[in-house]
Amino acid sequence: MNPHLEYAQSIPGITQGRGIGIIDFRGVYTLVDAITVLNDSGVLSNLEMAGIRKWFSDLFTWLTTSSNGNDEDKAKNNHSVAYDVIVSSIARFLGNDEYAIRKISEIPSRRIDPMIEADGRQPGELARTNGWGYSVMNLNQFFDAGETGLKVGQDLFAYKNPQGGSLRKALDFLIGYTGKKEKWKVQKGQIPQV
């Protein structure tokens, strides 16, 4: 695979690829940790590890300089949180903690403030066709970003936005519906009532 996602979510005859396809690579968050474990165990040669680091370095450059990457960074929903997880985890893998710290430290104002309300609702995700699924997915991504943050001294889990919204509030909101599918009767664009 070439070190870019230029053709992610390509639609033949319509688009060569789209920024929104970057989210499909969000599993890289755990992949870079697994590579680190393999390297620490001694099963990868220095040459193999150098090749892996070069590939991720090229991917990181593409993600942070391409128009597709820029589109995802500017997204107003779960796509931007996934982007933050992807680029910050790759930055950490590459030893660029400065970038990871900066990216994670931006999450409160760029993501939590506009995305999580005082009661924990995520209106941008609730407006989607499957509001439950998107809300859960986005919160999971926030938690992944929070885990990366803890590794670089940035605690997203303790943050509360000016309206009182937080990752904990978002979790509590969703937990309130766990096992109560009948209460989650939401049409696209509506917000469930607690």
State pLDDT tens for residues 79-109.
999 999 999 999 999 999 999 999 999 999 9
- Give the contacts of 129 (CB within 8 A, at least 6 positions apart): 188
Contact 19, 68 (CB under 8 A): yes
Task: Flag whether pLDDT at 129 surpasses 90.
Answer: no
Has residue 55 been placed in a domain? yes
Has residue 67 been placed in a domain? yes
pLDDT-derived band of residue 146, with 50, 70 and 90 as boundaries? very high
Task: Flag whether pLDDT at 192 surpasses 70.
Answer: no
CA distance 8 to 6: 6
CA end-to-end span of the chain: 46
pLDDT at 187: 47
Task: Flag whether pLDDT at 162 surpasses 60.
Answer: yes
Which of 1-10, 32-41, 181-190 has the weakest average pLDDT?
A: 181-190
Has residue 4 been placed in a domain? no
Could you read off the pLDDT of 21-69 as tens digits, one per residue? 999 999 999 999 999 999 999 999 999 999 999 999 999 999 999 999 9
Tell me what percent of the residues of the chain surpass a pLDDT of 70.
94
Has residue 133 been placed in a domain? yes
Has residue 117 been placed in a domain? yes
Instruction: Identify the DSSP state of 111.
Output: I
Q: Which two tokens stand for residue 148?
A: 């990366």
Taking the whole predicted model, whether its pTM rises above 0.85 is answered as: yes
Task: Flag whether pLDDT at 148 surpasses 90.
Answer: yes
CA distance 103 to 123: 23
C-alpha angle 126-129-131 in degrees, rounded to nearest 5: 30
State whether residue 15 is helix, strand or coil: strand
CATH of residue 51's domain is 1.50.10.100
DSSP for 11-33? Answer: BTTTBS--GGGGGGGTTHHHHHH
Task: Flag whether pLDDT at 193 surpasses 70.
Answer: no
pLDDT at 136: 95
Has residue 138 been placed in a domain? yes
pLDDT at 152: 96
Has residue 183 been placed in a domain? no
For the chain, give the mean pLDDT.
93
Domain limits for position 107 = 20-176
Domain count for the chain, please give it.
1
pLDDT-derived band of residue 127, with 50, 70 and 90 as boundaries? confident
